[in-house]
Structure formats: structure tokens, C-alpha cells
Amino acid sequence: MWEKVRTIFTIPELRQKIFLTLLFLAIYRIGWQIPLPIVDQGKMSAFFNSQANAPLGDLIKQVAIFSASQLSQTTIFGLGIMPYISASIIFQLLGSVWPPLERLQKEGESGRRKINEYTRYATVLICVIQSWFYVNFLVGNDLVRDFGGEGIGIWWKLTAVMTMTAGTVFLMWLGEQIDEYGIGNGISLLIMAGILARMPRAGVDLLEPMIKEGAVKLGGSSGIEILLVLAGLFVGVVAGVVFITQGQRRIPTQSAKHVRGRRVYGGSRQYLPLRVNQAGVMPIIFASSLLLFPSVILRYITAMSFESAFWGNFWRSIGEAFQRGDSFVYNLLYVVMIYFFCYFWTAITFNPKDMADNLKNYGTFIPGYRPGKRTADYLEKVMVRITYVGAGFLSLVAILPTVVATWLGVDYTIASFFGGTGLLIAVSVAFDLVQKIDSHLVMRNYKGLLERS
């Protein structure tokens, strides 16, 4: 294994790409620590510590996982890359329902560049809107500096909005530079860097009681038996995520034979790989984000009806049912929404009719099924079945942090590394990075990192 790692750095082009990628990620982490000038960091820390277990704290934690941001610190990269991701999702959804955008998607490289241009414009617009609301939220909760008793004027607000917008646009540009000059998917690597940066803090929180007592003992939330269970569970979950992420349903295909002169071409047997987890991490993102809103809304309804003891208790009991934890209602809705969004996202990203038409155009067919509609129906039936398995896996991974936090008494921030969105993103991006490195090695007649000796 070490010989393969050494081989990577003996290739000048690959070595340069890796060092440039590390440099860009270091720039991202440096900017992640620079706060906005108008924010009182002491007030911010106190406010968000008080909201740690409230719906607002859950919302900020969820956004931070898949956006490479940290809204609780309000840095110049406070919005992270989430506006760009939102704009990309919007255009991907519009591409399946809006004919002009659908035609652009089919134009190849020129159409993709045009869609990327529109995505950048939409990112700037989303940044301005989100940062304006966020700055007003800071001002409304008195989390800004005093400035000699003059308060925050419109120019300070606009400065903060432009700073956060420029920060997100810079991150978008940084991701594109990694795509062009580095190695791996730039946006995904930024998100992965934000996730992995939280691991040392989670490890310190887990081991802190043991370090303070100066001894390893049995019992408690940080006993040796809990640590062994968590270590074994982490290895098992990562292995399961890798297995399902790489899992495929291979549909056998055969190309038609054709004669040119005295030679016969075609007739080879291949396979069409269909991913078990076709939807990726998007169902968990959609489901967890939508389930945060009922708890926030019910919290404000409870506050407004506090004068009436009956209605206050009524709305409070409903709100507790939507709290993340051991709530049966929350976990049931979570699983149902993951299944729904798995099929929804798969229906958008996987078009069996287009795939059947492409097979027909290339003279390829699935044995036992006629080209055209019957092939499309067969592909759709197979995808429905394997999506059910993929959705079940995503549901298990999504609720696993809650199970670990509830049964083992571990803090949810630590338990989140045993499942959920962060683990899926980290594993998927790591595999994509390894595959890109492998492609460089194989191209130069070296063995890949995952290839057995």
C-alpha cells in the first residue's frame, strides 16, 4: 500500500494536482476563520450555545453539514457553498420540466456551459437574499457590535451582505479551480473538508471525561465498553456505506452483429450498471431539512398561545412529537420522506425511455426484451425494485445517529459521525477522489490504489 502511495508522488503531474488541491482547501479553511466585522462574537457564542438543543440549533447543524458553512460563527464564508448547491438543484429540477432548459441539456458541452452560467447568476441572487435575511436576523437579536451607540445602519448591512455574497462566490470559484487544476470534484471536496474538520472536536468531546479523570474505567458515557462499541460500529457502518454506495445491478446487454465486407462486427456481450443508491445523499438532505420546519413553526405557535394553558400544552405536545430524538412520529416521518424523495429524485435523474432509445440507436439490446417501450418498461421495473433497497439503506443510515445517541447516551454531534448525511458525503467523495487518482495511475500503466497486487 505504501508503495502505491509513493508511486502517486513520483508522477509530476499528479503530484502537482494533489498539492494544488491541498493549497485550495487550506485557503478555504483560512477564510472559514475570518469573522464579519459587524458581529459581536461573544454574543454570537452565547446565543447559539443557548440554542444548541432547540430547533434553530438543529437547523444550523444540518445546514452546516452539507454546505461547508458555519452560521454560528458568522465568517466571510458563513453561507458556505449552499447557495450554489441550491441553484444547481433548481436548474436540475427545471431541466426535467422546462423544455428550453431540457434542450440546452441535450446540446452537449455548449449547453452545459450555458447552464453553468445561469447557475452562477442564480447563486449570486440567492446569496444576496439569504445574507440579507441573515444579517437582519443578527441585528434583530442584538448580536452585532455597538459602534459607539449609533447602531447598524443600512450601509453596514449592505457591506455585510456583499461580504458574505463575495465569500460564497469565491468558494464557487475555488471549487471550479480544483475541478480544472486540482483533482476531484471541487465543491464536494469543500463540503468533505468541512465535515472532516469537525471530527477532532467530536473526538475531544468523547474522550474529555476520560482525560479529566486520568483513567480508563467501565460505565458512563465514555467508558471503555462504550468506546469499543462505537469503534466497532463506526467500522461496520463505513463498510456498509461503501458496499451500498458501490452496489450495482448489472443488466446484461448485447450489441447487434453487422457485416462490413468480409468482416463481422458487434455481437459482444456487455452489461448496463444501475446503481442501487441512484439518488445519492439528496433524499436525506430533503427529508431532514423539511422536518425541521414543523418543530420551528410549532415552537412559535406554542409561544403565541402560552396565555391559554390548554392550547399551550396541546401545541407543545405536538411540537415534542416532531423533535429529533427518540420520537416515534419523527423517525416514522423521516423514513417515509426518505422513501418518497428516493423515488422522486430517481425519477428525475434516471429516464428509462431515453436510456432505451440510446441503446436502440447504438444497436444494443437487452436479451429477451424488444428495443423501445418494452426495454424502457423493464429498466423502470428494475429501478423501482433496487430503489426500494437503496431507500431502506438510506433510512437505516439516517436514523442510526439517533439510535446511537439515545441508547448509548452519546452526544448527537458525536453520534452524527456514525451515520447520516455527513458520513455518506465523506465516503462518496473519498471514493470519487480515489477513482480519479486511479485513472491517472492506470493511464501511466501503474496499478490503481484499489487494485490487488
If one counts the domains in the chain, the total is 2
Do 176 and 236 belong to one domain? no
Which has the higher per-residue pLDDT, 443 or 170?
Answer: 170
Closest by alpha carbon to 315, among 325, 300, 335?
300
Query: Residue 452: pLDDT band by 50, 70, 90 thresholds?
Result: low
Do 193 and 66 belong to one domain? yes
Residue 427 lies in a domain: no
CATH number of the domain at 81, please: 1.10.3370.10
Task: Give yes or no for residue 453 having a pLDDT over 70.
Answer: no
Do 229 and 375 belong to one domain? yes
Residue 414 lies in a domain: yes
State whether residue 195 is helix, strand or coil: helix
Residue 318 lies in a domain: yes
Do 187 and 235 belong to one domain? no
Closest by alpha carbon to 125, among 84, 170, 76, 158?
84
Boundary (domain end) residue, out of 162, 197, 232: 197
Rounded CA gap, 83 and 453, in Å?
A: 44
Asked if residue 173 lies in contact with residue 151, where contact means CB atoms within 8 angstroms, the answer is no
Q: Label residue 109 left, alpha or beta by phi (over 0 means left) and psi (-120 to 50 means alpha).
A: alpha
Rounded CA gap, 293 and 314, in Å?
A: 18
Residue 445 lies in a domain: no
Per-residue CA distances from 182 to 19, 56, 186, 196, 341 (Å)? 8, 36, 8, 19, 33
**Lowest mean pLDDT: which of 11-25, 257-271, 403-417?**
257-271
pLDDT for position 21: 92
Asked if residue 59 lies in contact with residue 49, where contact means CB atoms within 8 angstroms, the answer is no
Burial class of 92 by CB neighbour count within 10 A (0 to 12, 13 to 18, 19+): middle
Q: What is the DSSP string of 87-102?
A: HHHHHHHHTTT-HHHH
Condensed to tens digits (0 to 9), the pLDDT of residues 5-20 reads 777 888 888 889 999 9
Provide the H-helix boundaries in 247-364.
Answer: 282-304, 309-321, 328-349, 352-361
Residue 431 lies in a domain: no
The model's pTM is 0.78
Which has the higher per-residue pLDDT, 418 or 280?
Answer: 280
Residue 68 lies in a domain: yes
Task: Give yes or no for residue 170 having a pLDDT over 90.
Answer: yes
Condensed to tens digits (0 to 9), the pLDDT of residues 309-346 reads 666 677 777 766 677 666 778 888 888 989 998 998 88
Q: How far out from the chain centre does Cα 450 lie?
A: 24
pLDDT for position 20: 93
Do 337 and 410 belong to one domain? yes
Residue-range definition of the domain harbouring residue 247: 213-418
Which has the higher per-residue pLDDT, 49 or 18?
Answer: 18
Rounded CA gap, 396 and 407, in Å?
A: 15
Rounded CA gap, 386 and 323, in Å?
A: 31
Asked if residue 205 lies in contact with residue 414, where contact means CB atoms within 8 angstroms, the answer is yes
